[in-house]
Amino acid sequence: MKNFPVLPDYPVIDAHMHPYIAADRNFAFKVPENFTDFFAVQQAAGIRLSCGTFNETGAGKSPERLKECNRKVLEINHLHPENFYPGVNVSPLLPELSCELIENFHRRGFRWIGELAWYVMGYEKYFLPGMKEICALAGELEMTVNLHPSSLEDLDELLTAFPGTWFVIAHPESTYGISGTYTLAQKHKNMFIDLSGSGLFRMGMLRKGVDIMGAERILFGTDYPICNPAMNVAGVLFEELSETEQKMILHDNFLNLTGFTCGR
């Protein structure tokens, strides 16, 4: 029987969260009201660096609102550079602006796009004409694209069309949903997953994913402050993983995808 997990001696990196405080959303339950407290919660869970973007309802159709989503994450990074790595938000409905935003983040040294959330931002799927420029540029600049899942068919079309671009699919589902996700990952070597939200919902899901995909293609994520970060950290530590596999998921893989050096 495995003992209750203790935090590792390396910094845990959360590849999927959102920098939302209480004023940003109508949360059902209490969340931090400022970013000092926000990042203190993550640090208490063992998370030293986290990555995410700001999604706002309908902002994928509005140039000014899309710009504001990205301004916010850059400001948070400026105020909390040791704790937060910003992801650029883009929209296939605004491809020219999206490419400008990607290039701006790339010049600043950031290599992460998303999490993109089609259902929040105002478009119905990812494989749209405007996504061609975005994904081609992401591949050229070696930037990773983090996606809230759409249909398996939509994701399959996107992954097939852009084999030179790295995609991280979020929120693996429960017993039946995760099987389709793992099958898709076997088909596409440019596909990774992150464990945010439902990614540890069933006991043994992570071990099965490592056996199918390899630990090098799975990233730790929480979806904090929507989900409890400590629960997700403990879930990874409690799975039947080797120390090497565990460290790849909790720390190494994000750094390898982004080239970021902080936290090594």
Return the domain boundaries, the chain: 12-258
Nearest to 14 by CA among 223, 203, 215, 200: 223
Give the C-alpha separation, 49 to 224, whole Å: 12
User: In the chain, what is the greatest distance between 2 CA atoms, to the nearest angstrom?
Assistant: 54
Percentage of residues of the chain with pLDDT beyond 70? 97
Is residue 264 scored above 50 in pLDDT? no
Q: Is 76 in contact with 43 (CB distance < 8 Å)?
A: no
Single-letter amino acid code for the residue at 61: K
Question: 120: Cβ–Cβ under 8 A, 6 or more apart, which residues?
Answer: 55, 56, 57, 59, 148
Q: Which residues pair with 192 in a beta bridge?
A: 168
pLDDT at 176 (0 to 100): 60
In the three-class reduction of DSSP (H, G, I as helix; E, B as strand; rest coil), residue 224 is classed as coil
Q: What is the mean pLDDT of residues 204-226?
A: 96
Is residue 253 scored above 60 in pLDDT? yes
Q: Which residues pair with 169 in a beta bridge?
A: 147, 193
- The arrangement of secondary structure in 12-258, i.e. its CATH architecture, is Alpha-Beta Barrel (3.20)
pLDDT digits (tens, 9 = 90+) for 45-102: 999 999 999 999 999 999 999 999 999 999 999 999 999 999 999 999 999 999 999 9
Q: Is 87 in contact with 219 (CB distance < 8 Å)?
A: no
- DSSP 8-class letter at 230: H
pLDDT band at 202 (very low <50, low <70, confident <90, very high): confident
pLDDT at 236 (0 to 100): 95
Write down how long the chain is.
Answer: 264
Question: 179: Cβ–Cβ under 8 A, 6 or more apart, which residues?
Answer: none
For the ranges 112-126, 174-188, 221-235, the lowest mean pLDDT is seen at: 174-188
